[in-house]
Amino acid sequence: MKTLLNIKTDVAVKREAKKFAEAIGFPLSTLINASLKQMIREQSVNFAVPLRPNRKTARLIKKADEDFKKGIHISPVFDNAEDAIAYLHQPL
Please write the tens of the pLDDT for every residue from 58-87: 999 999 899 889 988 777 889 999 999 999
Distance of CA 39 to the CA centre of its chain: 21
Mean per-residue pLDDT of the chain: 91
Confidence (pTM): 0.51
The rounded distance, in Å, linking the Cα atoms of 6 and 13 is 15
Per 3-state DSSP, what percentage of the chain is helix, strand, and coil (rounded to 5)? 55, 0, 45
Which among 54, 51, 74 has a CA at the least distance from the CA of 64? 74
pLDDT of residue 50: 81
